[in-house]
Chains A and B, each alone.
Chain A
Amino acid sequence: MESIELLSPAALREHPGLAVVAAIGLLLCVDLLAKLAGLQVGPLGGSLSVARLGSNLWNGLVIGLVIGLAGIGLSMTYSILNFANFSHGDLVSTGAFTGWGVAFVVAAAGSQPLGALVTVRDAGDVTPGAIGAHVLSTPGAIVVGLLAAFAITAVVSLAIDRAFYKPMRDRGGIALLITSVGVALVVRYLIQFAYGADRRGITASVDGDTLATPLGVSVTAHQLTIAVAAIGLMVAMHYTLQRTKLGTAMRAMADNKDLALITGIPAERVVAATWILGGGLAGASGYLYVLLRGTIQFDFGWSLLLLIFAAVILGGIGSIYGAIAGGLVIGLVFTTSTVWISSDFNAAAAFAVMILVLLLRPEGLFGGVSTA
């Protein structure tokens, strides 16, 4: 409901900044339609093929789902533990490396040396083609890897919480934020130490990878896998929060911590559940991101962190549905902004959107409806 009020004339009068942004957004939409129709009206319009826009939108959707999946955990820790977790990006990397290690082992344990598989091609001299990890040729390995990414990252997150955050439960959000920067360094560089620093290929190329081309937009098997897996995890998350006792407790904690504690909610169990679910989803999203890109590097999660923050802020901190929606918006901004500006700036455009939201509507685009 809030999002409708957002664009009401009264709301726009009260927030002139918002009005300007809305006007620009409208202008871009008009321009986009003109471009699609191949019209040139003054500075507006031009030409843009349906196929190009379609593939921008589809790619944005897939990236957005991955970012949104990662954002759920960040949003949960932000609202339940009250701090911006700067090590979240490195949990994303943790899931990617551990998950792909497991996937490689399942895919090629008999045929390739184990060391090369476990270290995700750091040790030994094995090509991605020799391992042959692809959802069409080794679907079992891809699924097992995803589950492993979730499970291992959940355990790692929980261990980090016990070691580093638990002794600081009574401290303020800023102290925790700074601590999380330290945790981020520890995790990222342990990954580099164990798995090496170089960027390398992960997935094999397989014939018939492009499954369909509706309207000229090519849909690959991996994109479809990511979409299905991400949506599946999101739905599972939704049911966990809505239908289980623990989920209700988590929503209560996110909503009003003090009240929740008075009513006898087991705080530490909720915190543990937050890390297991949030960390696990971060790990899964990292695994899926590598499936999308086909390559891996020790600090890719860190470089994704600001985009994940952008998604969470857009959706309103504390709302998992907001984080998903925010992820989609960021993904779409990321890919469709190239219609207007150079691809040098697509990340900058996403950050600019994030800053605008923080300045103009810090409760998020969808209006501070806290759903956990």
Chain B
Amino acid sequence: MTTRQFGQPVLRREDPRLVTGNGRYLDDLGHTAYEAAFVRSPHAHARITDIDVEGALDVEGVVAIFTHEDLEGPAADRLPLLIPHPSIEAGRTGHALAKDDVNHVGEAIAMVVATNRYVAEDAAQRIVVSYEFLPPVVGIENARDGANLVHDDAPGNVAAHLLQEVGDVESALAAAPHTLTLDLDIERSACTPMEGRGVLAQWDSDEQRLRLHSSTQTSTGVRAAVAAKLQLPLSQVECIAPDVGGGFGVKIMHPWPEEVLVPWAARRLDHDVKWTEDRREHFTASAHERGQVQQVTVGFDDDGRLLGLDVRFWHDNGAYLPYGVIVPIITATQLLGPYKPQNYRVEFWSLYTNTAIVTPYRGAGRPQGCFAMERTMDAIAAELGLDRAEVRSRNFIQPEEMPFDQGLMFQDGRPLKYDSGDFPASLAKLKALVGWDDFAAYREEAESQGRKVGLGIGCYVEGTGVGPYEGGHVHVETSGRVNVATGLTTQGQGHQTILAQIVADELGVSIDDVHVTTGDTRRMPYAVGTFASRGAVMSGNAVALAARAVRAKALRIAADALEVAEEDLQIEDGTISVKGAPHASIALSTVAVMSNPLRYAFDESAKAATQFAGTFDPDKPPVADDEEPGLEGKDFYSPTQATFANGMHAAIVETDPVTAEIKILRYCVIHDCGTVVNPMIVEGQVHGGVAQGVGGALYERMAYDETGQLLNASFMDFLMPYASEIPHIETDHLETPSPLNPLGIKGAGEAGTIPVTAVIASAIEDAEGFPIRSMPISPHELWDLRRAHAHALETVSPTPTEESA
């Protein structure tokens, strides 16, 4: 009897290879390739007046030095604005190598190709670039004020402006018994995967063919972009994502300048060229996220029920807008979480600044939205003196209201319609897990010991598994080996394991016989990529559908051979047998042989198949009209809309009464991502997500000074938390299957990150007794806040003035 794999905590099959140093990452490839290094702008905003490469040319080992002047055709044009949107008023993108001006520190100006990276950097150091300085625009306040412009033709530094409204917010607020206004602020952070970006290009001049390896989250996207930029037929370009040491969003952005330049140089030099990003480059020349300034006005009744919600926010999109406005759109729509505000208006401005570009980072705008909504919920509770969980509960969408249409347009251009979820049940589980109702006693005991503790909460809904599609290909070899291919890429999440679990079950084979390939355009040329927590939903369902096609074909062939009806057959452990008569059986490997009329007897399976040669009908072709040779199947999964996962987190923090140091004592997660394929992998995803969330809440920020210099562009000063900073994470799960897809699953990749900033702010606020409106927060900032509030209490009015009823 085959053990069902789906739902089991199957050990990750990729781990033995990855944790013993046998992964093959980008820099492990291309040992004989030339290596590239870049001269990057040390200035945030400047006009380039001269580039003098003279001194670099005679460095021994230098092969070529390129500037924008050397580029030709589409490669010299601006990089694409990948995802256009009607809200974009001034969409600006950069060049692969800067032309005339630079708009952020780290922008590439010249490319040096040399025999190795050391030599390339020696030469890069000798290239002299002259600049005429322009006033830098740094920070949302400066961008909004518009006195200086990043792009002359983007007035007010506005890249995009969008307003969405459901109901009549103005009337609702006017009629509401209570209103509050909150000014909120959330700072930049970044994905910071262990492996940075990297590209290896191999040009085959005999075949006029380009093979590209990129540390990317989308090999099909990179392939198409490079073909277009290099004016190559798509058929002459292949792109493979090797092992990728983390992405978290930054590698879904494409084409990066280097993804265009490295293959361009490889073709021009007729030699393999490689570029491996270093950490400093990653900080200044890749992408960041999160920075927003928000203003929320909320109207509510005496019970804390929302009557109207008016949100305006300003989103820092950095120097260019290659990835469009996906992030602020997600903030605007996902902000609502599990609540129904009745009347909702959201308006955002996406602003240029002279800083690194902003593209999705795990959570992708949701942490900011969750922060706005959950700070608002806490403010309502504080205003009315109600329990914070109770206020949330009163505003929940109820299970019987599912599917629930929020009346907005989501990031995929489709209606924001929740498919399922049981928010009251999730909250009940969370309260039980964290001991919500016993916290008063816990706090009292801590206070008696001179300790300050606080309890925080945050709820979210996450649109996952957005389309348009993903494909699966399943092929059974005559050995019984099952090859599975899907086009989306993997960055270590465990796709190889969960996709194998799904196929093993669907096909009735041992998981050990299933081999999964991801992100290789040679195996699956039509694919989208890994982002938006879509891997399991999209490729999971796609490979399931493909496996079902293979199963149907196998049963067809076996039924013919065994002369029984298909319905009477079963597949277990790779053997097809007649139900109730297990001796009448045929191996799947044998069926694979039979599926191909070209039957050279290379191996035992082929020999075995000869006994099932069947009847020979000279009037029929060896391959029937509606059949194909081989036991394989391909299918695509394309959903009508995203599926909506949800979760609720709670944390207990302790703040040092003197030094304001902040410690997370407990962190509890209730997570609902529909039917779970592998609970251990989901748990790992939640843990990793929470860890990145803790980074964003308490440690990480991009410290740009007023001139646009990034002061903390290293892991010494950019405080990505260590394991020692991450609390033990307690989790519990709820499974409300998605009605939208055959497997009932929802995405899980980003979930853990989304509410952490909101939860920690809530807990610190609870410990301190004054509002927390700006995150992340460090001990010295909390200490400053304490003094400001103590001072305010001593000197002015007895009531806080920031928000008035």
* A and B co-occur in one complex: no
Question: Which residue numbers of A lie inside 8 Å of B, CB to CB?
Answer: none
